[in-house]
């Protein structure tokens, strides 16, 4: 079975600073990868997904971007953080053709 790692676990950043969150997957190859965000007290918002290296689909226009430089690595970035970027960021993986997604432990981002 797959294991999903997210780094860092928690992060406190000032407004206007850059961001890089990393997600790596073990135990599978050619997965679909996903970035979600949970704002405080709210549900999950899909930010990006990727079906392969270099292939990124954006679901919500914002100041975030994603990249997939390797098959099992998914990176979420920002050049300048906003207060509204605070939240719990979750990476997920789907082993095609299976339908279910599996989630990593998450990164708690606080923008001050």
Partner 1 sequence: AQSVTQLDSQVPVFEEAPVELRCNYSSSVSVYLFWYVQYPNQGLQLLLKYLSGSTLVESINGFEAEFNKSQTSFHLRKPSVHISDTAEYFCAADDAGNMLTFGGGTRLMVKP
List contacts with partner 1 (CB under 8 A).
4, 32, 34, 42-44, 46, 49, 51, 57, 59, 88, 90, 92, 94, 99-106, 108
Q: SS3 string of 27-89? A: CCCCCEEEEEEECCCCCEEEEEEEEECCEEEECCCCCEEEEEEECCEEEEEECCCCHHHCEEE
For the chain, what is the largest distance between any 2 Cα atoms, rounded to a whole number of angstroms?
Answer: 41
Cβ nearer to partner 1, comparing 77 with 108: 108
Tokens in use for 103?
Answer: 């989630």
Cβ nearer to partner 1, comparing 15 with 39: 39
8 preceded by a cis bond (ω within 30 of 0): yes
Supply the minimum distance, in Å, between the C-beta of residue 16 and partner 1: 26
Supply the minimum distance, in Å, between the C-beta of residue 65 and partner 1: 19
Supply the minimum distance, in Å, between the C-beta of residue 37 and partner 1: 12
Supply the minimum distance, in Å, between the C-beta of residue 102 and partner 1: 7
């Amino acid at each position: 079975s797959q294991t999903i790692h997210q780094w860092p676990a928690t992060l406190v950043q000032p407004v206007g600073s850059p961001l890089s969150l990393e997600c790596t997957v073990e135990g599978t190859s050619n997965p679909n990868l996903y970035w979600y965000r949970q704002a405080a007290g709210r549900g999950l918002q899909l930010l990006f997904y990727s079906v392969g290296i270099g292939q990124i689909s954006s679901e919500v226009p914002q100041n975030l971007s994603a990249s997939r430089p390797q098959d099992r690595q998914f990176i979420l970035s920002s050049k300048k953080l906003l207060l509204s970027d605070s939240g719990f960021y979750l990476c997920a993986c789907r082993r095609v053709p299976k339908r279910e997604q599996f989630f990593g432990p998450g990164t708690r981002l606080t923008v001050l």
